[in-house]
Homo-oligomer: A and B are copies of this chain.
Amino acid sequence: MNISTRGRYGLRALADMTIHAVNGPVALRVIAERQNLSESYLEQVFSSLRKAGIVRSVRGAQGGYELNRPANEISVGEILRALEGPITPVYCVDDSSPGSECEMEKTCLTRPFWEELRNVVNRFLDETTLQDVIDKAPRESNKEPMFYI
């Protein structure tokens, strides 16, 4: 039951970017340094976020990334799904990708339970926004450089 580094780094980097955005885009180099993450790895992460419409990029010198929408209109579910794929405790209750249905769907003893767990998790993730994440973050983290989770 684990979120990989893509999701962890991605969410943390987004929170960092949002907090430190003054005006104009923020370069990955800056985020990577502040959060002690690999810039190259963040590139891959932000590529996914851009393709999902969560951030937009500005290329060239003085470029970088910025949120594509206000932080309170971006759910954590959306972010994690962009980075991790469908969030589901077991693949067989992933209703997002047709063809992934378990063949014993109708008779499986545990399927109804897993569906419920999936719903509990996704409901929470979809109700929580990037802004909520930031609001819950400790104060000091807005001032000093962070290190890795």
Which positions in A face B, CB cutoff 8 Å? 1-3, 8, 11-12, 15-16, 19, 76, 80, 84, 87-92, 102-104, 106-114, 116-117, 120-121, 124-125, 128, 132-134, 136-138, 140-141, 144, 146-149
Contact = CB atoms under 8 A, between A and B. Distances in A.
B89 A141 contact: no
Nearest to A149: B92
22 contacts: A1-B2, A1-B3, A2-B90, A3-B89, A12-B108, A15-B109, A76-B113, A92-B149, A104-B146, A107-B138, A107-B144, A108-B146, A109-B138, A109-B146, A110-B149, A111-B137, A112-B136, A112-B137, A113-B133, A117-B124, A120-B120, A120-B121
Question: Which of A2, A11, A76, A134 is the most central at the interface, judged by chain B CB atoms within 10 Å of its CB?
Answer: A2
Contacts of A108: 12, 137-138, 141, 146, 149
A17 to B, nearest CB: 10
Contacts of A88: 1-2
Given A2-B1, A16-B109, A117-B125, A90 B8 contact: yes
Contacts of A110: 8, 11-12, 15, 133, 137, 149
